[in-house]
Chain A
């Protein structure tokens, strides 16, 4: 008897939908084993991680707040990945967007600038993020440089740029030498949706982005071009689609969305520019994109789920003294299982029972 992986005639849409759920299930089993090894009760640890955050309003809002940047970045990344362009540097584009938008907030600080400031900051952030993403895209199109390496390395450049600015020129003079800008003026802050609550306008913007990209991919010729160029480059050329142009386009959109997410994070929940504004949103968004099947609605759900792991991780650290890094372990294992389960979309497992006629030499 043997287990064989057999090719399906056509991709299975059912499995495409449930494969992320299988991946999550396998991840939970693996995590339980890990918790047991750490000497914690797996059931209560998983409860703290995944159930407790869903039981109070503050945590629920916090999940939405954390999911906002994840979803926006992952939506942009999914366009790149569909086009077979590997943008790994969303973290850097997020930071550059935050810096570009913050520039206006810092410059208008204390002036009586009107409500145009926040929209202008968002625009600047999107442009900044797009331009930053275009660096690896142009290097790839023009010189054939691997966008995986260049986009990743630019993350560290962006990180140090932000660090320099908040320690140097943009440091708050009244900030007791902490590396941070002054608190943004109200016109430069993302307004909350509920008075005194954590939910803010960014969540609405993320939903709009989800809807817009769903239409782009499903209904428009541009979306079709993006999918074709990734699925079959030679057929794309035959169709008359310019792959270089599409690489530039998807990188620019992806960078713009990451940059927009960056300024929303800074001008929303954080309130000022400082190092450490991102707990690795740009990298976690890669997992969100794949867990969501590179599909906008899937990404929305996956983004909420990954946000839950951030909140759950924080609570588990407080309640059970489980190290915060376990969250990253969880996310890594999850990505591993998601990619593994994807093979089930094109293949299926089959048990083959040796028939008496088969010669014993055939293994």
Chain B
């Protein structure tokens, strides 16, 4: 199937954009190697690939943010050299980044004005902003300040800002990563409309179903090289995944004999004031998690997941000890070290700088969370033999690939470092594991290893709380799913009943019928 399926027939004489042998080298590392792609008007062209496959490097070159080491770009049949994004914009290339560049304390209109060349008056610009947002069905109030807006609304600002430059070619980098399923559907309507207007869209994603639904052509990258260009509608999700990963992905299987036991993590009416103006207040969060059970927390990023992690881990303390109960012990007032001693373990979302010290060795990073127990410290002195042994065991059990026995954390790839971090915690045999985004930015092989390890840990009787933006991941490994919205946590739904539609509604803030009364009483 690799090259038999032709791309959709071109609708113009020359492609809008063509890259020929585009190569980008960072030192000895080839981020992009001889990539040829053609993007035609009136097409949504997907760029598919795992993290580190070279998608971002390629679009950065097209948007003029980096200069290719070798190869050429052609724009409407003519050779194009870009020394910066402003040159790309003047040709009609626009880009919506995955990470927004907005000023929280400025209004929508002010933020948009900052991104434009400033030749029109602020009043005219505001009027045009309202018009563009109305025409494309992207409602925005120009006078609201950005910090009050949801992530979906912030993305709208970025899209409208780009559309106001009337681009012929629009690049979107993982636009649905931060959206609820319903918001994603609305975005697809907008993108199809832009396509119908004759624009070309380059759509970066690793979500296969979405690409099959939306895109006319897909170029698949792996390890910096182009694997294939194909028609995604003619492929199956499995065949696309094979091309992305370069092999079969191991099926994750829940052990059959899993039984729930006693409550191991209980949260009673936990509320926590934000510690800075832009973080989220946790409101009356309650749940009970039994041994052998995996509870998933879904939700759009920035709805209090980070704050909940800080409260559960003890990085921030709760006022009332009884709000958090770990294995029968009131723990709200205990430090993270004391909670670890009670048998809890934590895996934060950010691998470098939070889960590990980037420029320290793995053995030192084993000590970072292992010092409370495990015999790593005796009378204040560190036992390096024990810390090194932890590294070896994690390496062996979780297949951590590294250049030498004890390298610096920062030198490992994302997937291998995440396997080490999860392994480091699991090797301590925790009874409670709180893990945030376990496979974020991790290659498919490592993700399968990590998910299997989480399932096995639950089978061993531990209670797991897994926060993730990836609904497929939650569907795969959890027993129940709750949704966080504006610092509230919904009643958990059994995973079997948690359809994407139901979760999407909860992620957008609506309450499901029968829960409404309960929420009103709680507020």
Contacts and interface: CB of A to CB of B under 8 A. Distances in A.
A362 B67 contact: yes
30 contacts: A11-B408, A219-B382, A220-B381, A220-B382, A221-B371, A221-B377, A221-B381, A224-B364, A224-B382, A231-B357, A231-B359, A231-B360, A232-B357, A234-B353, A235-B353, A235-B354, A237-B315, A237-B336, A238-B354, A239-B336, A239-B368, A240-B340, A240-B371, A357-B70, A358-B68, A359-B81, A361-B81, A362-B67, A363-B67, A363-B83
A303 B174 CA distance: 54
Contact of A235 (B67, B340, B356, B407): B356
B14 to A, nearest CB: 19
Given A9-B411, A231-B357, A238 B380 contact: no
Interface of B: 21, 26-27, 67-72, 79, 81-83, 313-315, 335-337, 340, 346, 348, 350, 353-360, 364, 367-369, 371-372, 377, 380-382, 407-408, 410-411
A6 interface: yes
A31 interface: no
A310 B71 CA distance: 58
A240 B335 contact: yes
Contact of B380 (A7, A222, A235, A240): A222
Contact of A224 (B81, B337, B353, B367): B367
Nearest to A229: B357
A107 interface: no
Nearest to A361: B81
B124 to A, nearest CB: 34
A359 B74 CA distance: 12
Nearest to A231: B357
Nearest to A240: B337
Given A221-B380, A231-B359, 20 more contacts: A6-B26, A219-B382, A220-B382, A221-B367, A227-B360, A232-B358, A234-B350, A235-B356, A237-B315, A238-B313, A238-B346, A238-B355, A239-B369, A359-B79, A360-B81, A361-B81, A361-B82, A361-B83, A362-B68, A363-B67
Contacts of B337: 240
Interface residues of A, number: 29
A211 to B, nearest CB: 15
Interface of A: 6-7, 9-11, 219-222, 224, 227-228, 231-232, 234-235, 237-240, 350, 355, 357-363
Contacts of A219: 381-382
Contact of B70 (A227, A240, A358, A361): A358
Which 7 pairs of residues, A with B, have the shortest CB-CB distance? Answer: A361-B81, A240-B337, A362-B67, A232-B357, A239-B368, A240-B336, A357-B70
A239 B371 contact: yes
Contacts of B359: 11, 231
B408 A10 contact: yes
A359 B67 CA distance: 9
Contacts of B380: 220-222
A122 B344 CA distance: 46
Nearest to A362: B67
A235 B69 CA distance: 36
B27 A6 contact: yes
Contacts of A350: 27
A228 B357 contact: yes
B70 A362 contact: no
- The listed residue with most A CB atoms (<10 A of its CB), out of B26, B72, B381, is B381
Contact of B368 (A222, A238, A360): A238
A238 B27 contact: no
B27 A7 contact: yes
Nearest to A345: B359
B382 A355 contact: no
B167 to A, nearest CB: 21
A330 B59 CA distance: 49
Contacts of A360: 81
Contacts of A222: 380
A355 B335 CA distance: 57
A237 B313 CA distance: 10
A350 B69 CA distance: 15
A227 to B, nearest CB: 8
Contacts of B79: 359
A239 to B, nearest CB: 4
